[in-house]
């Protein structure tokens, strides 16, 4: 059965709806101010664990919901900062190893990769991205001086994180193994999976998606120890994998300290909804 699309509601209506569902809103004016900045529908995703049969549990306040929302926003920004370092490092490692093994233009040869169709797709992405960014100085420089020949260390800089993940996945196993063991001392199947997971998480964070109470569709590959300690379908498993691939250890320690501060600042947030085990800090410090 299909239902008709709901009619739009005013900010005042939205507050009234929440009150009718047993939410405690002592300051309706403040709630309306927040709803004018944050879409009701976006906030509603953070309400799911606070109600049953569309009725909020006794004592649940509007501030409780906004509190979780703010926690989630800050966590997304922290994750993006760590992901930036990991992404840049992988661009560096892939470009360096391919250039020295196959030459600066060797990435254009499909024989240096596993699957021709994926290689063709990769070149298409690169060419499209270069075409879109021709006003950037480094692209214009290579067009004017080198006739549009872009060595791998330049081409890799116009690829998205998702495209970078696909490129790594399509490398020959010997090349994936070299990069994974040389720089991370980790077996390449883990690294390959984690890059794929990270590309999806980055998109979620960059588009302000929800991490709280989110069940991951693409799960990080974990060893037996990790699997026995926490749920691989929650965001904590991603944080654990981030720690395994973050080469800047001072940055990772700062992330853990910041995360600890965030959890203390938002102490009422249920960390179990993000898959955090009780000893989460210790686990992250041992990655």
Residues 225-236: pLDDT tens digits? 999 999 999 999
Looking at the fold, whether 50 and 151 belong to one and the same domain comes out as: no
Q: Do 267 and 219 share a structural domain? A: yes
Task: Write out the two tokens for 124.
Answer: 């298409």
Cα–Cα distance, 19 to 31 (Å, whole number): 11
- What is the reported pLDDT for 226? 96
Which tokens is 207 given?
A: 């588009």
CB contact at 8 A, 212 and 72: yes
For residues 126-151, average pLDDT: 82
Task: Give the pLDDT of residue 27.
Answer: 96
pLDDT of residue 238: 98
For the segment 137-150, the average pLDDT, to the nearest whole number, is 78
- Helices 188-206 and 173-184 pack at an angle, to 10 degrees, of 80
Model pLDDT, residue 149: 81
- Can you give the pLDDT at residue 139? 81
55 found inside a domain? yes
Residues facing 51 on adjacent strands? 56
Do 38 and 76 lie in one domain? The reply is no
Res 144: pLDDT: 76
Residues 189 and 259 placed together within one structural domain of the fold: yes
Number of domains making up the chain: 2
The residues, any chain, with a CB within 8 Å of residue 231's CB and separated by 6 or more, are 237, 275
pLDDT of amino acid 61 = 97
Measured distance CA(230)–CA(214) in Å, rounded? 15
| Residue 212 and residue 137 share a domain | yes
5 domain residue, yes or no: no
Q: Domain range spanning residue 116?
A: 69-285
Q: If you search the block for the tokens 């490092």, which residue do you land on?
A: 89
Based on the domain organization, do 17 and 141 belong to the same domain?
Answer: no
List the single range of 147-156, 202-211, 242-251, 255-264 with lowest mean pLDDT.
Answer: 147-156
My answer on whether 47 and 164 are in the same domain is: no
Question: 198 and 176, same structural domain?
Answer: yes
Residue 3 belongs to a domain = no
- pLDDT of amino acid 130: 84
Structure-token pair, residue 127 = 């060419």
pLDDT at position 171: 98
Of 147 and 37, the one with more pLDDT: 37
In this prediction, residues 95-100 reach a mean pLDDT of 98
For position 133, what pLDDT does the model report?
81
Residue 46 lies in a domain: yes
pLDDT value at 12 more than 80: yes
- DSSP H or E segment with residue 52: strand 51-52
Round to whole Å and give the CA distance between 111 and 230. Answer: 41
Residue 148 has pLDDT above 80, yes or no: no
Please count the residues of the chain.
287
Give me the pLDDT at residue 146, please: 75
Range 148-158 average pLDDT: 91
Separation of alpha carbons 131 and 53, rounded Å:
52
Q: Are residues 129 and 22 in the same domain?
A: no
* Averaged confidence pLDDT in the chain: 95
pLDDT of 1 above 80: no
Digit-coded pLDDT (tens) for 43-55: 999 999 999 999 9
Quick check: is 141 in a domain? yes
Per DSSP, the three-state class of 95 is helix
If you search the block for the tokens 């070299």, which residue do you land on?
178
């Amino acid at each position: 059965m299909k239902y008709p699309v709901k009619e739009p509601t005013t900010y005042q209506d939205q507050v009234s709806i929440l009150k009718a569902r047993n939410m405690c809103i002592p300051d309706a004016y403040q709630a309306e101010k927040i709803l004018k900045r944050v879409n009701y529908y976006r906030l509603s995703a953070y309400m799911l664990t606070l109600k049953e049969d569309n009725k909020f549990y006794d004592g649940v306040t509007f501030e409780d919901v906004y509190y979780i929302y703010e926690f989630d926003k800050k966590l997304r920004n922290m994750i993006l900062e760590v992901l930036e370092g990991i992404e840049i490092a992988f661009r560096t490692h892939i470009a360096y190893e391919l250039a020295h093994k196959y030459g600066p233009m060797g990435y254009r040869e499909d024989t240096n990769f596993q699957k021709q169709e994926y290689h063709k797709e990769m070149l298409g992405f690169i060419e499209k991205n270069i075409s879109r960014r021709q006003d950037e100085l480094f692209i214009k420089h290579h067009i004017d001086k080198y006739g549009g020949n872009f060595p791998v260390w330049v081409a890799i800089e116009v690829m998205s994180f998702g495209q970078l993940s696909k490129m790594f996945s399509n490398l020959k196993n010997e090349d994936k193994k070299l990069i994974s063991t040389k720089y991370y001392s980790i077996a390449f199947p883990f690294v390959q999976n984690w890059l794929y997971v990270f590309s999806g998480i980055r998109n979620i964070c960059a588009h302000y998606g929800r991490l709280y109470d989110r069940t991951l569709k693409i799960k990080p590959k974990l060893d037996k120890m990790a699997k026995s300690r926490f749920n691989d379908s929650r965001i904590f498993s991603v944080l654990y994998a981030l720690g395994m691939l973050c080469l800047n250890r001072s940055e990772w320690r700062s992330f853990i300290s910041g995360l600890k501060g965030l959890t203390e600042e938002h102490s009422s947030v249920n960390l179990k909804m993000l898959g955090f085990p009780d000893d989460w800090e210790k686990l992250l410090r041992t990655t």
